Amino acid sequence: MRRRDFVRTGATAAAGAGLLSHAGALHGILRPSTLGRGVDEDLRALAMTALDAARSAGADYADVRINTNRNQRVSTRERQITGLGDNQTSGFGLRVLVEGTWGFAASGVVTSPEVVRVARMAVAQARANRAAQRRPVELAPTPVFRDVTWRSPIRVDPFEIPIEEKVDLLFRANEAALGVAGVRFVNSSMFFLQEDKFFANTDGTVTDQTIFRTYPSLGATAVSSDGSDFQSRTSRDVAPMGLGYEHVIDSDLVGNATRWAEEAVQKLSATSVEPGRYDLVLLPSHLWLTIHESIAHPTELDRIRGFEANYAGTSFINSLEDYLGKFRYGPDFMQIQGERQTPGALSTVGWDDEGVQPQEYFIVKDGILNDLQTTREQAPWLADWYRSQGREVRSHGNSYAQSWSDVQFQRMPNVNLLPYADRDVSVDELVDGIDRGILIDGDGSFSIDQQRFNSQYGGQVFWEIRNGRIAGMLKDVAYQIRTPEFWNAMDLCGGESTYFLGGAFGDAKGQPAQSNAITHGCPATRHRDITIINTGRSA
């Protein structure tokens, strides 16, 4: 790419500075967060220019995403502010298929001449790539959606809330934590995102969506009086959500800060765990991450087919024929659902990043592997399986790109473990059935191998279970599992009243690595006879 070219083609260059020209730029100002708007007509015109240019240059298929992202982060420690930033980026990414080979190019200059230039560049790149292509890409058919809009179901626009109010809330939460004897440090923050995402493709689909994300968090650190130990507790029972400022209010950092701080202090004097085998009760604030690593990632079809082998890895599901419809992931009551429609979940959206309306589907049905995560390129890879089941060959709508500057690829939907169906099993009932065990609250350290067999998880707080009762706090706990054994060792899970949406930002996949925001809904679970190690060592 030659920046001077678009300074030349982009009309007036700013006087003397050689600035990038945005003369005639159509995007970059976020829309007001009101409901009921239609598709942005200016963006539609620009998108059509891009698609026409791609077709004229020889593309058989093209899609374009024009995005504006705004985020705001407020962070504090103890009684002071440590950062306040408001960041905005806008641009477009254009993907083309030329004789079955992909090309992708992107630019932060959203003008008519630039979309034409970048479209030609993407086509030229696809032609250069063709020499290294052996099997042409084929896209599964999908319904066309013309001029449709979608918006995250927020009640309060977080960007409309005054900064003073946000800072005041964080300071009050910090003060509550610092009021607990033994707590020396507190960090807290709020993060907000608004993403305006316009999509159009040469099939005729045009979608215009506005996505919000909100994440309040707090961490307290206690230091022992002799300086020999320090322990932290973070607010992992508050997840990031695809909601507005109402999520900050509902999370009640101020009300919860004392409990988090007290648990940090309590960890200093907790008993260091005796390694061995224990029964586990995993609260959903912890379990969502284990589901993410050991179920959501290994059922990504691109991983299974080796496309992510150089970074994220492949999968223990190494043969579609041997696993689909046959592999017992867990007990009969285990249902794993993929969907993108739960209000407030982070993957929830109207249409994915290639214009597909997401489907709800069962990755694991009655304990057996039933389906995999797909995009339009990947769905045909499962054609034999789908036909044998009398199912349609179509994408589940699991395509996503982290920004305009990244190419879209397969990313997980909300992957949920459904609650026990027959009755509303409580956490007390799960604990009641255990002689020697550990209850884990909140996610902590995590690590998993590149085929998703062997993994290790810590947590925020560990409670010893003796004879069906909580006995006291433990520390230095991590459990190590092998995925198939772990899920088949689940003998009961909680009911609807224990169900919780956990999640995180920053799930990495792809090269260049792209960050995804993930939600996993789940109840509490019980697992028998799991290996616990002690992670405490003295230096």
Partner 1 sequence: MSNDSFYSREEAQAICQRVLSFSTADHARVNLSSAMDGNTRFAVNQMSTSGDINNATLTVSSAFGQQVASATTNRFDDESLRRVVETSERLARLVPEDPEYLGELGPTTYPNSNSFFQSTAELEPEERARSIANVTEQAEENDLISTGFLVHRAGADAVATSNGLFAYTTDSRVNFTTTVRTQDGTGSGWAGTSVNDWRELDTGALGSVAVEKAMRSREPREVEPGRWTVILEPTAVGNMVNLMMNSLSARAADEGRSFFSQPGGGNRLGQQFLDERVTIHSDPEDSRIFSTPFNGEGLPNQREVWVENGTLRNLVYDRFWADRQDRDTTGFPSGWYMSGGDATMEEMIRSTQRGLLVTRFWYIRGVDPRTILFTGLSRDGTFLIENGQISHPVKNMRWNETPIFMLNNIEMMGRPVRISSGESSGLTSAVVVPPLKVRDFSFTSISDAI
Choosing from 203, 262, 263, 406, the residue that interacts with partner 1 (CB under 8 A) is 406
Q: How far is the CB of 2 from partner 1 (least distance, A)?
A: 4
Read off φ and ψ for residue 166, nearest 5 degrees.
-65, -45
Q: CA-CA distance, 299 to 279, in Å (whole number)? A: 26
Q: Which of residues 239-258 bind partner 1 (CB under 8 A)?
A: none
Choosing from 18, 153, 468, 506, the residue that interacts with partner 1 (CB under 8 A) is 18
- Looking at the Cβ atoms of 33 and 514, the one nearer to partner 1 is 514
- Looking at the Cβ atoms of 104 and 361, the one nearer to partner 1 is 104
- Looking at the Cβ atoms of 44 and 73, the one nearer to partner 1 is 73
Q: Does 230 bind partner 1 (CB under 8 A)?
A: yes
Q: Helices in 102-198 by DSSP H: which ranges?
A: 112-130, 163-178
Q: Which of residues 300-339 bind partner 1 (CB under 8 A)?
A: 305-311, 313-314, 316, 318
- Looking at the Cβ atoms of 226 and 422, the one nearer to partner 1 is 226
Q: Which of residues 278-307 bind partner 1 (CB under 8 A)?
A: 305-307
Q: How far is the CB of 161 from partner 1 (least distance, A)?
A: 11
Q: Does 506 bind partner 1 (CB under 8 A)?
A: no
- Looking at the Cβ atoms of 302 and 339, the one nearer to partner 1 is 302
Q: Does 82 bind partner 1 (CB under 8 A)?
A: yes
Q: Does 103 bind partner 1 (CB under 8 A)?
A: yes
Q: Which of residues 110-149 bind partner 1 (CB under 8 A)?
A: 121, 124-125, 128-129, 131-135
Strands (E), 421-499: 436-441, 446-448, 454-457, 461-466, 469-475, 477-482, 490-493
Q: Kindly determine how many residues on this chain lie close enough to bind partner 1 according to the rule CB under 8 A.
A: 103
Choosing from 66, 211, 324, 407, the residue that interacts with partner 1 (CB under 8 A) is 407
Q: Does 508 bind partner 1 (CB under 8 A)?
A: yes
Choosing from 33, 67, 90, 266, the residue that interacts with partner 1 (CB under 8 A) is 90
- Is residue 307 exposed (0-12), middle (13-18) or buried (19+ Cβ within 10 Å)? middle
Q: CA-CA distance, 60 to 85, in Å (whole number)? A: 42
Q: Which region among 74-82, 255-263, 494-502, 521-529 touches partner 1 (by CB under 8 A)?
A: 74-82
Structure tokens at 59: 């593309």
3-class state of residue 116 by DSSP: helix
Q: How far is the CB of 185 from partner 1 (least distance, A)?
A: 7
Read off φ and ψ for residue 115, nearest 5 degrees.
-65, -35
Q: CA-CA distance, 313 to 193, in Å (whole number)? A: 30
Q: Which of residues 470-499 bind partner 1 (CB under 8 A)?
A: 476, 478, 480, 482
Q: Which region among 15-23, 246-254, 264-272, 491-499 touches partner 1 (by CB under 8 A)?
A: 15-23
Of 408, 470, 389, the closest CA to residue 436 belongs to 470
Q: How far is the CB of 418 from partner 1 (least distance, A)?
A: 28
Q: How far is the CB of 479 from partner 1 (least distance, A)?
A: 11
3-class state of residue 362 by DSSP: strand
Choosing from 145, 327, 446, 505, the residue that interacts with partner 1 (CB under 8 A) is 446
Complete DSSP assignment for 365-416 = ETTEE---B--TTTGGGGHHHHHHTT------S-EE-SSTTS--EE---EEE
Of 501, 529, 331, 536, the closest CA to residue 438 belongs to 529
- Looking at the Cβ atoms of 315 and 342, the one nearer to partner 1 is 315
Q: CA-CA distance, 18 to 3, in Å (whole number)? A: 10
- Looking at the Cβ atoms of 35 and 80, the one nearer to partner 1 is 80
Q: Does 58 bind partner 1 (CB under 8 A)?
A: no
Of 227, 219, 125, the closest CA to residue 170 belongs to 219
Q: CA-CA distance, 343 to 242, in Å (whole number)? A: 8
Q: How far is the CB of 208 from partner 1 (least distance, A)?
A: 20
Cα distance from N-terminal residue to C-terminal residue, the chain: 52
Q: How far is the CB of 144 from partner 1 (least distance, A)?
A: 24
Segment holding 70, helix H or strand E: strand 61-77
Q: Does 1 bind partner 1 (CB under 8 A)?
A: yes
Q: Which region among 41-49, 143-151, 399-407, 433-441 touches partner 1 (by CB under 8 A)?
A: 399-407
Cis peptide before 275 (omega within 30 of 0): no
- Looking at the Cβ atoms of 328 and 482, the one nearer to partner 1 is 482
Choosing from 45, 81, 144, 383, the residue that interacts with partner 1 (CB under 8 A) is 81
Q: Which region among 80-88, 435-443, 490-498, 499-507 touches partner 1 (by CB under 8 A)?
A: 80-88
Q: How far is the CB of 465 from partner 1 (least distance, A)?
A: 23
DSSP 145: -
Q: Which of residues 164-203 bind partner 1 (CB under 8 A)?
A: 164, 167, 171, 184-185
Q: How far is the CB of 427 from partner 1 (least distance, A)?
A: 26
- Looking at the Cβ atoms of 301 and 492, the one nearer to partner 1 is 301
Task: Tell me whether strands 399-400 and 409-410 are parallel, antiparallel or unpaired.
Answer: antiparallel
Q: Write the CA distances from 208 to 30, 61, 455, integer angstroms.
A: 13, 20, 40
Sequence-ordered list of residues with C-beta below 8 angstroms from that of 77, at least 6 positions apart, any chain: 174, 185, 186, 187, 188
Is 446:474 a contact under the CB 8 Å cutoff? no
Q: Helices in 28-162 by DSSP H: which ranges?
A: 41-57, 112-130
- Looking at the Cβ atoms of 141 and 306, the one nearer to partner 1 is 306
Q: CA-CA distance, 517 to 401, in Å (whole number)? A: 11
Q: Does 89 bind partner 1 (CB under 8 A)?
A: yes
Choosing from 101, 205, 235, 460, the residue that interacts with partner 1 (CB under 8 A) is 101
- Looking at the Cβ atoms of 171 and 199, the one nearer to partner 1 is 171
